[in-house]
Amino acid sequence: MKRLKEGDVPVFVHLPSTFGHLDESRYKGRWTLLFFYHRDFAPGCDLDIGTLLNNMEHIERLGLELVGISPDPLEKHFEFAVSKGIKFELASDSEGKMAGLYGAIKTRKPLNFKRKAFLISPDFRILKAYEGKKTVLYPLEIIYDVEFIQDLIKSYDPEKIRITFNFF
């Protein structure tokens, strides 16, 4: 199975989610962070998601959409979302179909995901992959990257610099 990587067009598998079902059309034309995490209520995941939640005002100002995916059932996602105040989409990949495409499966029995995140550009390409991060700082790194790229695009002057942003 080919694993998706930087430069590829992201693939969204039809999964049950807290928004009904995962639908890529919601994210085309938007900055999106697609992230895989171990389990709802797991200590490390609580820290990562807590860092994102603590920075939601900044994330929203950047126009960054968040999509979290774990192997947990949808009912547990709803419980997790309510308890943490999560308003972004959480999807249930109970068979690892989508996680497999992104190389995010840690173990099959029991199904568990690696901590992996993918920054998707508005032109619907995987711009950057964040793999194996084991610190609560990686959500801040992602926020910084989006801010840096957006500033670069805003200041781009084709008369001074010749660059192709969609070079994939």
- Lookup: tokens for 29: 């034309």
Tens-digit pLDDT profile for the chain (168 aa)? 679 999 999 999 999 999 999 999 999 999 999 999 988 988 677 777 888 888 889 999 999 999 999 999 999 999 999 999 999 999 999 999 999 999 999 999 999 999 899 999 999 999 999 887 665 677 788 889 999 998 888 887 666 655 555 544
Q: Write the CATH number for 36.
A: 3.40.30.10
**Predicted pLDDT at 167:** 45
Q: Is residue 5 part of a domain?
A: no
Q: Is residue 4 part of a domain?
A: no
Distance separating alpha carbons of residues 82 and 114, to the nearest angstrom: 24
- Lookup: tokens for 168: 């994939």
- How many domains does one find in the chain? 1
**Predicted pLDDT at 41:** 83
Q: Is residue 130 part of a domain?
A: yes
**Predicted pLDDT at 68:** 94
Q: Is residue 147 part of a domain?
A: yes
Task: Confirm if 92 and 70 have CB atoms less than 8 A apart.
Answer: yes
Distance separating alpha carbons of residues 17 and 93, to the nearest angstrom: 9
The per-residue DSSP string of 48-94 comes to HHHHHHHTHHHHHHHTEEEEEEESS-HHHHHHHHHHHT--SEEEE-T
Q: Is residue 79 part of a domain?
A: yes
Which structural domain, as residue segments, surrounds residue 132?
26-155
**Predicted pLDDT at 161:** 57
Q: Is residue 9 part of a domain?
A: no
Angle between helices 43-54 and 74-84 (to 10 degrees): 50
> What is the end-to-end Cα distance of the chain in Å, rounded?
21
